[in-house]
Structure 1
């Protein structure tokens, strides 16, 4: 196909793209075309670095999704009352699940029907979330992004990436550090971005106009890509959009030794001279069962996860929040925001804690084991058991699922999501970053189904602002996203936007955009990033001093 020819996307023809010496065949869907399950790296070798895909030859069938990466199965906690049972039954039916595989380093490309190899359209690369243990690129609809971008006259190309998860992507131990094989999931993402840089022009994209976009673990991944390899982005992306995710103080990769040793024992590798090689050759089903038995985000320890990005000395050279504090971060424009009640979902696993004294001990042991007793006393002085101060926020005495439900949700949501995001954005301003924008989603607190009100604006609900169009919940964030991908400004050249989105600045108030509902209908309003200022400042100071996951104390840099 010459550069002057359009990609044939009418319903009468299957669209084709040339990659090296291969013809890649996708699906035509009228106004857009999709190329699914394209390998962006050689087939993954367990617990090994991703390798560049060899030159493409022959015919590549890109008409069906590739396999997601191996998922870590999880078990929902035992409900303590009928309301929790109803909540969990609803969530179980609404959260998608996937059957994964180790052979999963693939991506999906969605392009407008009018795209040609000479179009040089801006590109948005999507990293899915799922707590670094579940998730798949096909869970989010790239076609809705492309169709909306065409409708508002700002066409983009959407790329969704699958990357290794759980122990397969984030194995952690001294053995892993010594082998320089940490954070393989982040290495997969970086390899996918190199593929985009090399090949996206063949689909009509501009490799110099790539924006990263993700939610939850996907957003955390993007923030980590901004600081990875001492902030060397290889010029693979120029902007970022992060929903509910920022760098966390996760500590050294050796802090995962316990979970590594559990896998070694479960697979019969404890007597091997080289346990890492033994794990690499272990039976997949036995290894997978051992991985599934490790703690998940619905286990009692909640967001103290077994398999997460950690400091490995290669991808992450120091604790992520410390790198941010030192100004080691890509100086690019970005958008970052949170849901108001990030912690409610992750407090379902600890509803059997019914007393503040027990909650206090659990927070101390589970999240901040190196903090002093005085630190924890100060923390609980800022996060009291007054339900009017807890999460779901701004709901008064209502929605108290258990005696310490709103207190636990407030601490976990602010600790893992709100405080790191605020610190990240303020640090970006301090180090002369380009313009940045913030948002807060406070929707769904007035759910018609009473038991869902216990969850408030829970983690993940901001996705409905981005991917759902035409319904009562809105979808307005998507227009801002599309504008940002085109111009690195969420409101530049997009006249149909409903409200001005002021840039985040160094003023005391720090303006943000707020997604709300009024009488069940979506609304946009202005807000400021000064809510819970004292408590969140305290959390930031604690996390700068202590990693969130157990490990030896470390001298901190002021």
Structure 2
């Protein structure tokens, strides 16, 4: 189902232009006339630059904001994507597992072709047709991806259309920012140059652009909500903890689908991957390796980035691309910043699909023994923790399929000897446990709501990563209603006649909105799945970040 949704989303980006009505809408942007397109009830302005193209000497440097606009700008074509790094699925895995993964991924690896390039620091702005500058509508700013993701893959047609139906129209902004080696390169050279987490810097610059320019599209810069999925959700949470928690008035609320402040450490701990990329890029003998990476063809740097572990590889979620402390954007490990109280004190919503780790556990199918599992966890997730001190973690995640993920499926779906154990562990370390940690730390200090999605089960993979976000984006479901209501009022309650009352989260009763398939689509349940195991991995991750 998710693969078809992904295909739909990319196709929608194209159709929203090709089916536009003849009379093109325009917007004055500084001294420029911006030409957009209207499809049904949605007007779109695509590929608007918010920063100078990060080409040549601007590669691997902080984004340089656009100084102004002039002339006529055609904003009717899908924006160029930043260079993607698509993770390949291992084809040597067991037949049933491969079949399940291929069914899940499908068109995610192909989809509708959208041009890629380094000149990609742009935003798409979509508004209800007929919106005027004085309307001052709430604004939702959306992001997604550390290695793959773009504004073209996140069309807001369904969200904007649903907002009009609810009588609560919103402006939708989708961001492009640099990915993988162009946006999230690690290593001491990167830290010393102050150019770590460039993708996060790009996002911040785009948010500044929104403050400066969104009013001409009919948006209210004082009513901005950031919304992220997966890596975009992690990014949204990190926008909350940067700058000592001072959000500079750039946003007033946040929504996170599968992503929270993660237990990563310092950017210099990625040195081996920096060195590997430098070597494959042909820069190992350069006096200044970072400068060498700026000068090689972009295709060469992308190819070098493809040599390090990816999400569907043996290492699973232990990849080098998630943000880490760089001394500038993140002055300490993200969860340490949360513990220090350096968090923007704004309302937020945070949720996960029930089985976040399943798709990422497929690459390690050949972990088959207890010793191999323990070595895996130690080597890739907690290498700076003595293995003897990890014994409680190993005990909290036993090789009992009934305690693994997909949750609640007993001995079924054990696609490899350690698959369900690995899926539970990986999904908890990166997604579920950080969500609970963030909520536990902040729910008594600011309004917070949490959800769990048990919709759209995939064979063998359960309620897998992305199964919460994509339907909300593509089809305007009940979660979309809550999101629109939150963006409008900073409270998801009262969204529509198909939603229910959603209590705020607290660390004692742990109420979560649960999305179900079937006759009772919404319920309030208790967020207590693997409570002790998650507390264990959180404690280790704080003491010894990944």
Q: TM-score, normalised by structure 2?
A: 0.93
Task: Tell me, in whole angstroms, the C-alpha distance in 1 between the residues paired with 2:98 and 2:420.
Answer: 17
Query: Which secondary structure state, in structure 1, belongs to the residue aligned with residue 135 of structure 2?
Result: coil
Shift of residue 278, structure 1, vs aligned partner: 1.2
In the alignment, which residue of structure 1 is the partner of 2:540? 542
Deviations 1:475-527 (A, max 9, x none): 210000000000000014x3424311111124x22211001123xx5611111
Task: Tell me, in whole angstroms, the C-alpha distance in 1 between the residues paired with 2:412 and 2:270.
Answer: 39
Is this contact kept in 1: 2:138–2:170, CA < 8 A?
yes
> Can you give the 5+ residue segments of structure 2 that lack an aligned partner in the other structure?
1-18
In the alignment, which residue of structure 1 is the partner of 2:80? 67
Pick the structure with more helix per residue. Answer: 2
In the alignment, which residue of structure 2 is the partner of 1:102? 118
Is this contact kept in 2: 1:340–1:441, CA < 8 A?
yes
Residue 258 (structure 2) aligned to one of 244, 250, 259: 244
Shift of residue 99, structure 1, vs aligned partner: 5.2
Is this contact kept in 1: 2:100–2:459, CA < 8 A?
no
Is this contact kept in 2: 1:163–1:169, CA < 8 A?
yes
Is this contact kept in 2: 1:491–1:497, CA < 8 A?
no
Shift of residue 322, structure 1, vs aligned partner: 0.6
Is this contact kept in 2: 1:127–1:214, CA < 8 A?
yes
1:123 lines up with 2:118 in the alignment: no
In the alignment, which residue of structure 1 is the partner of 2:46? 36
Task: Tell me, in whole angstroms, the C-alpha distance in 2 between the residues paired with 1:251 and 1:367.
Answer: 11
Is this contact kept in 1: 2:449–2:512, CA < 8 A?
yes
Shift of residue 409, structure 1, vs aligned partner: 0.6
1:344 lines up with 2:354 in the alignment: no
Shift of residue 127, structure 1, vs aligned partner: 0.4
Residue 88 (structure 1) aligned to one of 98, 101, 114: 101
Task: Tell me, in whole angstroms, the C-alpha distance in 1 between the residues paired with 2:248 and 2:376.
Answer: 42
Is this contact kept in 1: 2:224–2:251, CA < 8 A?
yes
Deviations 1:189-209 (A, max 9, x none): 000000000000000000000
Shift of residue 352, structure 1, vs aligned partner: 1.2
Shift of residue 12, structure 1, vs aligned partner: 4.3
Residue 176 (structure 1) aligned to one of 184, 190, 213: 190
Shift of residue 96, structure 1, vs aligned partner: 5.0
Query: Which secondary structure state, in structure 1, belongs to the residue aligned with residue 34 of structure 2?
Result: strand
Query: Which secondary structure state, in structure 1, belongs to the residue aligned with residue 168 of structure 2?
Result: coil
Relative to structure 1, the CA distance from residue 372 to residue 513 in structure 2 (aligned partners, 3 Å threshold; closer, same or farther) is same
In the alignment, which residue of structure 2 is the partner of 1:552? none
The ranges of structure 1 where at least 4 consecutive aligned residues each deviate by more than 3 angstroms after the TM superposition are 9-12, 96-99
Task: Tell me, in whole angstroms, the C-alpha distance in 2 between the residues paired with 1:356 and 1:477.
Answer: 40
Shift of residue 455, structure 1, vs aligned partner: 0.1
Is this contact kept in 1: 2:50–2:206, CA < 8 A?
yes
In the alignment, which residue of structure 1 is the partner of 2:517? 517
Mapping of residues 126-275 of structure 1, within 5 Å: 126-129=142-145, 132-275=146-289
In the alignment, which residue of structure 2 is the partner of 1:504? 505
Task: Tell me, in whole angstroms, the C-alpha distance in 1 between the residues paired with 2:107 and 2:95.
Answer: 19
Which is worse superposed, 207-216 or 76-85?
76-85
In the alignment, which residue of structure 1 is the partner of 2:295? 281
In the alignment, which residue of structure 2 is the partner of 1:477? 479
Which is worse superposed, 307-316 or 526-535?
526-535
In the alignment, which residue of structure 2 is the partner of 1:527? 525
Task: Tell me, in whole angstroms, the C-alpha distance in 2 between the residues paired with 1:357 and 1:490.
Answer: 46
Shift of residue 179, structure 1, vs aligned partner: 1.0
Task: Tell me, in whole angstroms, the C-alpha distance in 2 between the residues paired with 1:120 and 1:246.
Answer: 30
Shift of residue 466, structure 1, vs aligned partner: 0.9
Deviations 1:181-234 (A, max 9, x none): 111000000000000000000000000000000110000000000001221211
Q: TM-score, normalised by structure 1?
A: 0.91
In the alignment, which residue of structure 2 is the partner of 1:556? none
Relative to structure 1, the CA distance from residue 313 to residue 42 in structure 2 (aligned partners, 3 Å threshold; closer, same or farther) is same
In the alignment, which residue of structure 1 is the partner of 2:455? 443
Is this contact kept in 1: 2:227–2:256, CA < 8 A?
yes
Task: Tell me, in whole angstroms, the C-alpha distance in 1 between the residues paired with 2:418 and 2:279.
Answer: 37
Task: Tell me, in whole angstroms, the C-alpha distance in 2 between the residues paired with 1:88 and 1:498.
Answer: 32
In the alignment, which residue of structure 1 is the partner of 2:492? 490
Task: Tell me, in whole angstroms, the C-alpha distance in 1 between the residues paired with 2:216 and 2:474.
Answer: 29
Shift of residue 10, structure 1, vs aligned partner: 9.5
Shift of residue 177, structure 1, vs aligned partner: 1.0
Residue 345 (structure 2) aligned to one of 313, 331, 334: 331
Is this contact kept in 2: 1:509–1:530, CA < 8 A?
no
Deviations 1:278-309 (A, max 9, x none): 11111222222111222111121111112221
Shift of residue 424, structure 1, vs aligned partner: 0.5
Deviations 1:146-201 (A, max 9, x none): 00000010000000001100010011111111111111000000000000000000
Task: Tell me, in whole angstroms, the C-alpha distance in 1 between the residues paired with 2:157 and 2:192.
Answer: 43
Residue 418 (structure 1) aligned to one of 418, 432, 457: 432
Query: Which secondary structure state, in structure 2, belongs to the residue aligned with residue 323 of structure 1?
Result: helix
Relative to structure 1, the CA distance from residue 19 to residue 83 in structure 2 (aligned partners, 3 Å threshold; closer, same or farther) is same
In the alignment, which residue of structure 2 is the partner of 1:459? 465
Task: Tell me, in whole angstroms, the C-alpha distance in 2 between the residues paired with 1:440 and 1:74.
Answer: 26
In the alignment, which residue of structure 1 is the partner of 2:441? 427
Task: Tell me, in whole angstroms, the C-alpha distance in 2 between the residues paired with 1:310 and 1:464.
Answer: 27
In the alignment, which residue of structure 1 is the partner of 2:4? none
Q: How many residues align?
A: 522
In the alignment, which residue of structure 2 is the partner of 1:50? 63
Deviations 1:219-274 (A, max 9, x none): 00000000012212111000000000011121111112111112222232222221
Is this contact kept in 2: 1:230–1:316, CA < 8 A?
no
Task: Tell me, in whole angstroms, the C-alpha distance in 2 between the residues paired with 1:403 and 1:174.
Answer: 38
Is this contact kept in 2: 1:32–1:112, CA < 8 A?
yes
Task: Tell me, in whole angstroms, the C-alpha distance in 2 between the residues paired with 1:365 and 1:99.
Answer: 38
Task: Tell me, in whole angstroms, the C-alpha distance in 1 between the residues paired with 2:429 and 2:362.
Answer: 16
Residue 77 (structure 1) aligned to one of 72, 90, 108: 90
Shift of residue 465, structure 1, vs aligned partner: 4.1
> Can you give the 5+ residue segments of structure 1 that lack an aligned partner in the other structure?
1-8, 446-451, 549-558
